[in-house]
Amino acid sequence: DTGVSQDPRHKITKRGQNVTFRCDPISEHNRLYWYRQTLGQGPEFLTYFQNEAQLEKSRLLSDRFSAERPKGSFSTLEIQRTEQGDSAMYLCASSRGGGNGYTFGSGTRLTVV
């Protein structure tokens, strides 16, 4: 069990560029979550996968955001045409479901300049 890995740790991009983040969950966890955390706030739910199925998306997830989990293992979160308001920490978490075991990654800090 190596924990939840996120890559990259930091990303600086120019406004209008596309960015993609990767999350590798704990291998036996079938549930995967993406959260966004802006400065001074708690994490806000973005989307949730159970295996490869994306079961819930927040209204925060505009059309510029897309997430995939193609084989029920790792997941990617892509932001197209980035805006300054997208600057935030993007956190990934995984769980088995139904219990108390949500494990978070260290996050990807995105800065849009």
Stretch that binds other proteins, among 20-28, 63-71, 80-88, 94-102 (CB under 8 A): 94-102
Q: Least CB distance from residue 107 to other proteins, whole Å?
A: 5
Q: Least CB distance from residue 69 to other proteins, whole Å?
A: 15
Give the whole-angstrom CA distance, residue 24 versus residue 44: 20
> x-or-dash pattern for other proteins, window 5-44, by CB under 8 A?
--------------------------x-x------xxxxx
Cβ burial, residue 7 (10 Å; 0-12/13-18/19+): middle
Task: Let me know the angle formed at the C-alpha of 67 by 65 and 69, rounded to the nearest 5 degrees.
Answer: 175
Comparing CB distances to other proteins, the nearer of 8 and 16 is 8
Give the whole-angstrom CA distance, residue 112 versus residue 104: 23
Cβ burial, residue 79 (10 Å; 0-12/13-18/19+): buried
Q: What part of residues 57-76 is at the interface with other proteins (CB under 8 A)?
A: none
Give the whole-angstrom CA distance, residue 28 versus residue 40: 32
Q: Least CB distance from residue 43 to other proteins, whole Å?
A: 5
Could you list the residues that contact other proteins (CB under 8 A)?
31, 33, 40-45, 48, 50, 55-56, 89, 91, 93, 97-98, 100, 102-107, 109
